[in-house]
Structure 1
Amino acid sequence: MPPPAPSLGRSVSLHLQGDWGTANLHRVCGWIAQELTDRCGPHTRVGIWSGRGGADAARAVGRGQVHLALTTPAAFAAAALDGRGPFAGEAVPDLRALGVLPQRDRLVVGVDRSLGITSFAELRAARPALRLATGPHDGTNLIGWAAHEVLHRSQVDVTGWGGRLLTDERPRQTFERVISGEADAIVHEAYMLPPWQEFGARMAFLPVERHVLDGLEADYGWPSATVAEGHFPGCPRFETLDFSDFLVLTRSDLPDDLAHLIAWILGETRATIEAQYRHIPPERSPLTYPLDPVAMGRTPVPLHPGAARYYRSLEAS
């Protein structure tokens, strides 16, 4: 039996932060806002701020600029607790989670097959002048941060070898560079989206070396994962950096009853958000449905006590 539906008799004013405005994190914010407004006092107001979905999410919550913010990949947020990696100098020890939404994703490194390179060892030996498309390494964009870490730890020096870094904030901008031929290499995520199938057949995807993956996990808590054989046209199975899941962040001082209500919304009204993705096969969907409320409570940063109360109720039922 599902937990009883909670509600708040009082009106609340809540600030959420999503993505640039039209992608998945903003969509999740809209879902939370709608369901929350239905279950709070009549003067409830929910505002959704644009963000970048990266390190800015934990910072905005930590600074008290917003009450909730969404970030991806989920595992990267754990470094904010003690100020590691992109969060150096601004730790958020009171960062808490309300739940995690599944998005099976990977950060992958691809180079044009015409270069004849199939491994990082071959890449280091050839030292080609790559035109590599990725996200900006600006301390906020986690795609760019992760790309920099993978390349640096793999001893790849794009500009030092005479190449160019072509950086864009949003994935589709990067994909266009590869599709048009402006870029002959890419380090990026959102590997389930259709553009990867458009240009993937002409790319060789490089397995990230084990010492690099182990170092990233030891230093930042970033996990590794595999890309299944055939996910990209004609591509064998390989190992790379996990880039999965959307994480709903808040601070420990969010009222317990409000945190409990939002966690309940995530778990018990999940059909509302799932319906927006069911026209896409789950393995190609930007949100990996069906959502499992128990799994949504397994978060890489501590759960807010109010949210933990909801997820415990699932285990007891």
Structure 2
Amino acid sequence: MTTSPARPPSPSHQSHPSRPPEPKIERSLTLHLRGDWGLANLHRVCGWISQELADRCGPHTKVATWNSRGFSDAVRAVGRGEVHVAMTTPAAFTTAALDGRGVFTDEHYPELRALGVVPQRDRLVVGVRRSHGVTSFAELREAKPALAVATSLNDGVNYVGLAAHAVLERSGVDVRGWGGTFLEDERPFESFAHVLEGRADAVVHEAVMLPHWQEFGGDMHFLEVEQDVLDGLWADYSWPSAVIEEGYFPGCPRFQTLDFSDFLVLTRSDLPEDVAYAIAWVIGETRHLLERQYKHLPPERSPVTYPLDPVTMGRTPIPLHPGAARYYDALS
């Protein structure tokens, strides 16, 4: 295996001599990671972790990254021991897998642990074309328009489709019963194409930092999710709420909706402690290597919300692996 040449410590490491010690694992490891479909951010994070971890392990270390959808399938793969580490988003959706709620009622995984989060400030939003004259869920229920709704697959794996249907159903919206239809795809780009090319007159989706939203956002009313719906989703599944600030979409006021933030670096409690510490150290101490891949974008429009802060990266919705906790505790 070819590894990158030795490099000097990052500037942040040089300026803080009391930082957590750099890991060195003498034995060679074989690890399996799960990222995304192959070309998105989760795979990029896996590549970053793989390179920096291999540089600090035995000379025959091998790290494989498997394709994944990055949703409940990734959580199950870790829980079942099929891979050692997986990336999944949004981070908070994993919480229900600990005690078997929602899509995890059939099989849950109390041994799941976190190695950290890579921050991504994201939201799931509901937009309806302004031509319908609907500005709230109350008005939507009153009008009952036949909508073509662009969203993701609701197959128990894709969290976008799962959350979209949960929000609509709990808000009293019966898309098919009102004569409408769902245009369902796996990735956001197909959904955005439905909107931009006129096939959809409503959208329920995430990845709000992508430029597509600026193209069609001015033609949409974005509906604030009602408080009782958000409270119910939190109580039942631990799905948090968040806001979209005024002007984030063209001409759009501030509104509250479902939080869809952060990439969770997920493992199990049986991952060796020194490996867990090493991965957490890589995430925190070599973060500049990931940051610089996004700095051509403003932070609020970036798929990774930089600057990355190791303390924040250690605040996870599920318990930290003890090895990872050792790294984050050493930051204080």
Deviation at 1:57, TM superposition (A): 1.3
CA distance in 1, matches of 2:168, 2:104: 20
Q: How does 1:26-41 map to 2 (within 5 A)?
A: 26-41=43-58
Aligned to 2:236: 219
Query: Which stretches in structure 1 are left out of the alignment for 5+ residues?
Result: none
1:273 to 259, 283, 290: 290
- Whole-angstrom CA distance in 2 between matches of 1:297 and 1:85: 25
- Please give the secondary structure, in 1, of the residue aligned with 2:330: helix
Is 1:70 matched up with 2:87?
A: yes
- 1:81 counterpart SS class: helix
Q: Calculate the TM-score normalised by the size of structure 2.
A: 0.94
Matched, 1:105 2:122: yes
Instruction: Give the equivalent residue in structure 2 for 1:42.
Output: 59
CA distance in 2 between partners of 1:312 and 1:176 (Å): 45
State the distance in 1 between where 2:236 and 2:128 align.
Answer: 27
* Paired-residue identity, %: 70
* 1:1-317 correspondence runs (5 A): 1-315=18-332
SS in 2 for 1:314: coil
Deviation, structure 1 residue 2: 1.6
Q: For residue 225 of structure 1, report the CA deviation from its aligned partner.
A: 0.6
Task: Give, as a single letter, the amino acid of the residue that structure 1 aligns with 2:214.
Answer: Q
Deviation at 1:169, TM superposition (A): 0.3
Q: After the TM superposition, which segments of 4 or more aligned residues of structure 1 sit over 2 Å from their partners?
A: none
Alpha-carbon distance in structure 2 between the residues aligned to 1:216 and 1:300: 15
Displacement, 1:83? Answer: 1.1
Q: Which amino acid aligns with 1:234?
A: G
The whole-number CA distance in structure 1 between the counterparts of 2:329 and 2:174 is: 48
Whole-Å separation in 1 of the counterparts to 2:313 and 2:63 = 23
Give the SS at the match of 2:183.
Answer: strand
Output the CA distance in 2 between the equivalents of 1:287 and 1:90.
31
Q: Distance in 2 between matches of 1:70 and 1:294?
A: 19
Secondary structure of the structure 1 residue equivalent to 2:204: strand
State the distance in 2 between where 1:34 and 1:94 align.
27
Cα displacement (A) at 1:4: 1.7
Q: For 1:167, what is the secondary structure of its paired residue?
A: strand
Classify the secondary structure of the residue corresponding to 2:331: helix
2:221 partner amino acid: A
1:150 corresponds to which letter in structure 2? V
| TM-score normalized by the length of structure 1 | 0.99
For these two proteins, the number of residue pairs brought into alignment is 315
